Structure 1
């Protein structure tokens, strides 16, 4: 089992970062994300918390021989649950892989919340757990370490993608305000 943790401070308000998180895909920094579909979405009438369930399709770069042996395709799927609490100003996301989950489990947790020390900034806290099981358990150490490296690389690229979307949102807001809309 391998663990990943990262924190990052975005110099933007929580409302903008939360919006950007939902508008993150597609972007040119993460071309492996092919599609994002909202499966379910509801607002709790008592708390105002928005709960969303999304299915994310990504292309995987596993060797064709491995895909043939394991019966996979070039697309894999991730299920994501999120909760936006507008009163508490938190966005919490939990995701897990559906594809090959019998061989490798990847669980990710992300929290966006205002930085209490910097009113105009948002803290991003990310953690993940990767565990090779089943037929891969014999090679678990190698598989987990390899997947952890890819996860780290994708996490860095994901931050760049979110920053790109943040700047796009700010540009849209500026264009709207200068146009007098």
Structure 2
């Protein structure tokens, strides 16, 4: 009986010790520590706005508005997700040569218009439709006669190889 109690006590002690050791690294850091350890990359970032010129594999060529062409490497899965095609206007956030964010800029032009109707204009009668002409009768379909097929050439039979005799 005493041996069973020692085994139980040892098992409970080991499980508590293992759970304490495994939980300690997983505990969350306070917000002040996280804010102090984060690095800011705002000094290295650059925003590029332009039109997509071409896409070859994962290399995208962009024509910025006031500079020369720029080639960027963007993962194929990202290209499929955003549906990037040549001719689209995009805004790219770069950190050095790495693409941080890419967004498609829709080019919708909003034009405000006002419709003015004269108040004292009498409605005009609708013009009479032109008289209906009978539809022409359909012509019969004529198909050219099929060209005669040439006769197949006979295939020569293979010649048997001479058999050596046993004499």
Higher helix share: 1
Relative contact order (alpha carbons < 8 A, sep ≥ 6): 1 or 2 greater?
A: 1
Higher strand share: 1
